[in-house]
A and B are shown apart, each in its own frame.
Chain A
Amino acid sequence: MMGLEKFAAANGLLVGFLFVGLLMMLAYWIARHLARGLLHGSAIAIALGLLLAWVAGEQTGGNKGVADWPLLAGVGVLGGSMFRDFAIVATAFGVRLSDLRSAGWVAALSIPLGVVLSFLCGAVVAYGFGLRDPVAITTIGAGAATYIVGPVTGASLGAASDIISLSIAAGLVKAVLVMIATPLVAKRIGLDNPASAMVYGGLMGTNSGVTGGLAATDPKLVPYGAMTATFYTGLGCLMGPSVLFLAVKALLGPA
């Protein structure tokens, strides 16, 4: 067994290709025979990936999903940020500039609006659960933006580590839910053209959620959603510890 793990680690990326290939084969089989066209194969593949990541996380206690199983460590390379960004940029090949401009200023507006909206949801929930400390409320609110904005904001405000973990969890819930729910609600929210994909990317913001959700809905829309979502986390990290924290403090009054 030890020898096999060493071999798998030395050929990690290849194991990743094989693993994803088999997973997608299973997903497309389920799509054809069990889901009967209700769900696209890629949506099922992403859901299966999340499910396996959950099982692996519960079993190993790690935080990298199936990549914490020594045999599948290579999946972490294939699914890491380097290949993800590389492939997203590749989807921009063949995008027409006129499509990118179709959403105009509304696309740009959707990013700050998305940050504030998510923050508000998280902050109100935190308040509802009895939190009154502005630092804690701000950190949870920032976590509802993305699981990066949460800890970055919490660290710069000096939040307690249990609050920071909660903010990461909130961001992870958001990312996972966006991946799963986007293909299910896509039709209802009109997510079928470049303009609405850009607005969607700006409003949801969570990079993994948006790219996963769009991949499962319509791969042609990926570059448009990724274009706006890429600015979301940066803007969130900028606004969280500054204007948003000051707004929370002003609303709650002197502690």
Chain B
Amino acid sequence: MTSDTPAGRRLRVFSRRRGAPSKTRRRLGAAVRMVAALALAGGVYTAFAPGAFADEPRQLSATAQEGKQLYDNSCITCHGRDGQGVDDRGPSLIGVGSASVEFQVGTGRMPMVRQEAQAEQKKPQFDKNQTKQLGQYIQELGGGPQLPSGELVENLEENPEALARGGELFRVNCTSCHSFTGAGGALSSGKFAPALHDATPEQIYAAMLTGPQNMPVFGDNQLTPDEKREIITYIKVQLQDDRDPGGIFNLGGYGPSTEGIAIFLVGIVLLVFTALWIAGKS
């Protein structure tokens, strides 16, 4: 139908119509094209894909060897041999990086007590040195984010604006779960955002970098390392070091809920007893 249109006619000028090729010729052409396409795809893949599979098993450093010992004793049940992960038990640790290990193990969340909505913070099972060894092992196993060296809290003498900028970033990125005061908050189905009162700068940095439990990852293209340091400065200086005026007790920083409890438990109770006392004097 469209072949009669002027456009269709013009196109025919450029098409070479020398009669249909033979069946064998068509088959041969298709096979050659297929081989060429496969070779191209394979070539591109080998050019760009990581060479991990091809390599010989890498020699682990001495620290990582120690870490592997610990891993094989304490972590392998859920995370499997060589951090491959076990279905319905523990995720693969390939690519999580030493930052993740230092957060999860350093805060006592790993090893986990039981499978539940989210790992609870508890007394760390491994000391600082052992945590480092575990981290090194996971790092050498599959790479991933690492904690930067150097100071994580800005020096406010040199850079006084860091505090206000950190506060702004904290309110935009962190308060929707951790709340304005860093007191933590509930998420759905038993998950939660923990309080930030006892988190160290390294832990906060590692958490932002790796997104533990239900926290999203704040990669370096979302929050630059400088912005991460500013947020840590705000948490450290403003929320943890108790710079808050307004009395000796902030009621946990849970907002109007605890304020409402306080007015009944302290205010009304005190005044009802006063009323009893005054009315009793007759």
Answer yes or no: do A and B interact. no
